[in-house]
């Protein structure tokens, strides 16, 4: 995709944030009531509830792109969006029609001057529609190796015993297991996700793969020796609107084995107000935030801002640590999000606490 730098003044960004819910509701109404044939045809393949989800997802990507000014957030989303929905038999004209409706929705809440960069942005996407769709269908988001490919095959074909055998061969120590997990298992699961996106495997196989992975890896983690308590507490949270909590579950169990007092708010995403309340109530030594979906990065930035404010007000020193694939969309996640550390893998997080 051609490069595009969308920079809007702060007052425009604030207006977009201020009216985001109203704009989303209006956009949904326009989409469901339009006479545009490409959108009407899309509703044959996509339910009204899914359309709303797609619109909300798009709006969050747009907000994150404006806030962080990182083009990878936009590119990765567009490739995913086109890849999944072209495989659901939506015609490419659908995307152009949606872009035009977004301009109409924003025009009700932004004055003509404020609307200019937004309009240019959607015109850019429309002009590059063909190129985006072509790139999306050709894109490979992972670099698979033979071992990862073998693990992928075991997972999607529900060969639990073979997957267990391969994991156990590489789990004589916790260090070995974590290295193997970060090097090969993660790539295998990335392939699972990609193959689902392009319609090569069913959602059932995607769910089975996750289930086998969780079961076997917890079996292994439970065999590792536990250390004595070190009296330090770790609050583990998934960012708001996150539903990928497997990595956080692993970290929770591993840190408990290492002697930390772990307070987990669960595998699914926790609302911002509840995260901040937990920070005040438990006063942990560390706050670990998992974020795997880039649309949630803006909310994470707001959470970190509030925790840093609490640190200053209370003269406390809660270390804010970040993990998850979403951070890979940022060039300097630690600096941009104002966290103490950022980790690319479960292996790196555990090494930090060791």
Domain assignments of the chain as residue spans, ordered by start: 10-138, 146-221, 233-353
pLDDT at 281: 92
Q: Which residue bears the tokens 């993660």?
A: 186
Question: Per the structure block, which two tokens stand in for 230?
Answer: 């070190």
**DSSP-derived 3-state class of residue 137:** helix
- Average pLDDT (14-37) is 96
Q: For all residues of the chain together, what is the average pLDDT?
A: 90
Phi and psi at residue 238, to the nearest 5° = -95, 140
Provide the β-strand partners of residue 287. Answer: 235, 320
- Model confidence at 23, pLDDT cuts 50, 70, 90, reads very high
1 versus 311: which is more confidently predicted?
Answer: 311
Strand partners, 322: 289, 342
Burial (0-12, 13-18, 19+ Cβ within 10 Å), 18: exposed
Q: 284-311, pLDDT tens digit by residue?
A: 999 999 998 899 999 999 999 999 998 8
By C-alpha distance, which of 298, 292, 241 is closest to 67?
Answer: 298
Q: Is there a shared CATH topology between the 146-221 domain and the 233-353 domain? A: no
How much is the pLDDT for 93? 92
Place of tokens 């960012």: 239
**Buried residues in 301-333 as b, exposed as e (16+ CB within 10 A):** bebbeebeeeeeeeeeebbbbbbbbbbebbeeb
Statement: residue 141 has pLDDT above 70: no
Residues 212 and 209: their CA atoms lie apart, in Å, by: 5
- Which of 201, 237, 269, 203 minimizes the C-alpha distance to 60? 269
E strand or H helix at 81, and its extent?
helix 71-86
pLDDT at res. 139? 58
Task: Write down the architecture of domain 233-353 according to CATH.
Answer: 3-Layer(aba) Sandwich (3.40)
Mean pLDDT of 12-34: 96
Tell me what the mean pLDDT of segment 67-81 comes to: 90
Picking from 148-157, 272-281, 325-334, which range would have the lowest pLDDT averaged per residue?
A: 325-334
Q: Crossing angle, helix 346-353 and helix 246-257, to 10 degrees?
A: 20
CB burial string 193-226: b at 16+ within 10 A, e below: bbbbbeeebeeebbebbbebbeebbeebbeebee
Distance CA 268, CA 273 (A): 15
Find where tokens 């850019």 sit.
124
Instruction: Report residue 242's pLDDT band, with 50, 70 and 90 as the boundaries.
Output: confident
- The CATH class that applies to domain 10-138 reads mainly alpha
Buried b (16+ CB within 10 A) or exposed e, 159-175: eeeebbebbeebbeebe
Q: So what's the pLDDT on residue 6?
A: 80
Task: Identify whether the C-beta of residue 301 lies closer than 8 Å to the C-beta of residue 64.
Answer: no
Nearest Cα to Cα of residue 70 among 324, 305, 336, 277: 336
Q: What is the pLDDT of residue 31?
A: 96
The string of pLDDT tens digits covering residues 243-294 is 877 788 888 999 999 999 999 988 778 899 999 999 999 999 999 999 988 9
Average pLDDT over residues 194-213: 89
Number of other CB atoms surrounding residue 278 within 10 Å: 17
The answer, yes or no, to whether residue 59 has pLDDT greater than 90, is: yes
Collapsing DSSP to helix, strand or coil, 235 comes out as: strand
Q: Is the pTM of the predicted complex or chain greater than 0.75?
A: yes
Q: Which CATH number fits domain 146-221: 2.20.100, 1.10.357, 1.10.3470, 1.10.1240?
A: 1.10.1240
Q: Give the residue from 7, 21, 88 showing the smallest Cα distance to 55.
A: 21
Q: What is the mean pLDDT of residues 96-105?
A: 96
């Amino acid at each position: 995709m051609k490069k595009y730098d969308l920079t809007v003044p702060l007052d425009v960004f604030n207006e977009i944030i201020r009216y985001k819910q109203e704009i989303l509701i209006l956009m949904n109404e326009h989409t469901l009531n339009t006479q545009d044939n490409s959108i009407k045809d899309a509703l044959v393949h996509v339910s009204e509830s899914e359309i709303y989800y797609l619109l909300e997802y798009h709006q969050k990507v747009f907000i994150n792109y404006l806030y962080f000014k990182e083009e990878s957030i936009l590119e990765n989303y567009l490739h995913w969006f086109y890849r999944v929905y072209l495989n659901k038999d939506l015609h490419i004209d659908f995307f152009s029609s949606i872009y035009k409706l977004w301009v109409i929705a924003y025009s009700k809440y932004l004055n003509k001057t404020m609307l200019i960069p937004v309009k240019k942005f959607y015109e850019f996407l429309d002009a590059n529609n063909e190129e985006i769709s072509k790139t999306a269908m050709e894109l490979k988001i992972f670099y698979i190796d033979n071992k990862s490919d073998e693990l992928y095959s075991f997972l999607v074909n529900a060969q639990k015993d073979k997957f267990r055998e391969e994991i156990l061969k590489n789990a004589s120590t916790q260090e070995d297991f974590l290295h193997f997990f970060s090097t090969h298992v993660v790539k295998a699961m990335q392939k699972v996700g990609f193959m689902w996106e392009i319609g090569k495997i069913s959602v059932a196989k995607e769910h089975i793969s996750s289930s086998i992975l969780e079961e076997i890896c917890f079996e292994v983690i439970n065999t590792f020796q536990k250390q004595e308590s070190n009296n330090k507490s770790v609050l583990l949270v998934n960012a708001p609107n996150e539903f990928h909590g497997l990595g956080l579950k692993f970290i929770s169990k591993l840190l408990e084995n290492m002697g930390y007092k772990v307070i987990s708010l669960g595998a699914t995403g926790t609302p911002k107000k509840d995260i901040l309340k937990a920070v005040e109530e438990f006063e942990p030594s560390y706050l670990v935030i998992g974020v795997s979906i880039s649309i949630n990065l803006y909310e994470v930035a707001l959470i970190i801002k509030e925790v840093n404010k609490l640190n200053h007000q209370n003269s406390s020193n809660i270390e804010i640590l970040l993990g998850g694939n979403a951070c890979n969309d940022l060039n300097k996640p630690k600096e941009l999000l104002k966290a103490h550390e950022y980790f690319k893998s479960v292996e790196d997080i555990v090494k930090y606490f060791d």
